[in-house]
Chain A
Amino acid sequence: MKSLKELRELRETLQKEISARNSAGKPKIIIGMGTCGIAAGAREILHTVLEEIERRKLDVVVTQTGCIGMCEKEPLLDVQLPGKERITYGNLKKDDVKRIIVEHVINGNIVTDLAIARFEEGRD
């Protein structure tokens, strides 16, 4: 780097990159990957989610979380659409993942027969 101009250009390109990485405003899928979750098959669920997202070229953020004390309902997966309530799905099988992605993540309809909880933070 030799000039102030170059520095500004670099800043601009990197800022774009960072905003692309920023998860705000994107649908989010959170998978329970605590030990109990993995033992119940969470890793397979994670792979299926990643495959589906890749196949459908979706712009979705996939993250993981630990054990939240709902181990009897593992594998768990949460969907958080921007500005919407975070929904927890439980007792999942591979095929359920496809349904959740098509119905909830893409079309915005909660898959009620698979949903087990609404995220209650700040509801009191």
Chain B
Amino acid sequence: MEETLFLKKDMYDQIENYDFSGLKKALSMEREDIARQVKESGLKGRGGAGFPTGLKWELALKEKSDKKYVICNGDEGEPGTFKDRFLLEYNPVKVLEGIMIAAYAIGADEGYCYIRGEYHRPVRIFKRIIEKAYDKGILGKNIFGSGFSFDLHLVKGAGAYVCGDETSLLNSIEGKRGSSRIKPPYPVSKGLFGKPTVVNNVETLTAAAEIITNGPEVYSRMGTEGSRGTKLVCLSGDVQKPGVYEIEFGRMTLKEIITEFGGGIRENRKLKFVVPGGISTAVLTADEIDIPYTYEDLEKAGTSLGSGAIIVVAEGHNLVSLLNNVSRFFMDETCGTCFPCREGNRQVHHILKSNSERFSERDVRIISDLGRTIHLAARCGLGQTSLNFINSVFDKFGNELMERKEITGG
């Protein structure tokens, strides 16, 4: 099977080679129509939460304010995810176009591109693109003679996973500590410096640029009812050919993605499980991956498409050490604002660390309870999803992880 090339079709890493036809088209349209077209396309946010992008733009456009912001979220920190890095390196011009279309659509005259601090190369590339765009009058005052003016700043993250959460990211840009804000108010009404703000993921903005360029019907024709268009998936772990692949929703199963694009498991080992959307999502066992790759089918299977990070894990890995790895990550990365997330993840790590082989039923129950508590009490996605991986591994591989019950009586 072939990749469905939409985002990967016309990639531009040099600003000289592109005429910004999508942006020019947008500048000739009514603002409402841009948001409506993105809505019609069915595009959902590709950062992990999957909020409809057109709706977000529409809400931001309706806000009355002297100042609005648009932010490109390139703080790609979910382990296993590298699609935004791919776009920033190989298609930065379209990313810029997406940011500018979003800005025009909501009536923003200033924006930020927030890129993960570890992404030295993408930062260097995007910085050059911004400089050149200013030189060529693509950024700045009265762009293409349309009367639309827009300034874009580049901000580098400082290594905190939580800053990928949009409200934490806003705090980080404002120079505050990276911790989440209580919602509502949502960023679309009170975001950066208290002004209406749209925060979109890199892939979302790139897709929006292509949707405006090619028309929404091209996009909405692809995929399924609940999952329109294409998705960049990041294959990593025990596969022959890891990498970024573009998939049309519903055309392939998760299993086919792994066997056909990934080339199957390394060294002909047996598949143990798949993390379908980064380590904030529940794992699927080898028997559960024969499902179409769509938002709705993964949800039905009790997990989520997340950021598109598919980590393939073969037999032969130590499960407890993997659990410890994930748990340590969340213990380190919780921002500490909501205590159930801060203390809960610490306790879970403590339980996991003090067992090297088998866990008691009590341990597993405590971890599961903590997971539910954090899910209900945490205000941001980090906390809410922090125990999805761990609880699903206990759920699905309990027989390997738990103490064997003594058979008594009889």
Contacts and interface: CB of A to CB of B under 8 A. Distances in A.
For the residues of A in contact with B, the DSSP-based class is: loop
B80 to A, nearest CB: 4
A38 B85 contact: no
A34 interface: yes
Range of interface residues on A (Cβ < 8 Å): 20 to 34
A40 B242 contact: yes
B236 A71 contact: yes
B120 A40 contact: no
Choose among B119, B124, B236, B243 the residue with the greatest number of A CB atoms under 10 Å from its CB: B236
Interface string B305-338: 0000101111001100110011001000000000
Contact of A69 (B85, B235, B275, B329): B85
Nearest to B83: A69
B235 A72 contact: yes
Contacts, number: 90
A70 B82 contact: yes
Contacts of A123: 120, 124
Contacts of A120: 120-121, 124
A95 interface: no
Interface string B43-61: 0000000000000000000
B237 A36 contact: yes
A71 B309 contact: yes
Contacts of B235: 72
A120 B156 CA distance: 14
A35 B273 CA distance: 13
Interface in B213-268: 234-238, 242-244, 266
B372 to A, nearest CB: 23
A66 interface: yes
B206 interface: no
Given A40-B242, A43-B321, A71-B82, A66 B329 contact: yes
A40 B266 CA distance: 9
A38 B321 contact: yes
A41 interface: yes
A35 B85 contact: no
A124 interface: yes
A33 interface: yes
Contact of B79 (A35, A41, A72, A73): A35
B80 A67 contact: yes
A71 B279 CA distance: 13
A35 B82 contact: no
B81 interface: yes
Interface string A47-77: 0000000000000000000111111111000
Interface of A: 33-36, 38-41, 43, 66-74, 117, 119-121, 123-124
Report, nearest first, the 3 A-B pairs whose CB atoms are least far apart.
A39-B237, A120-B120, A71-B236
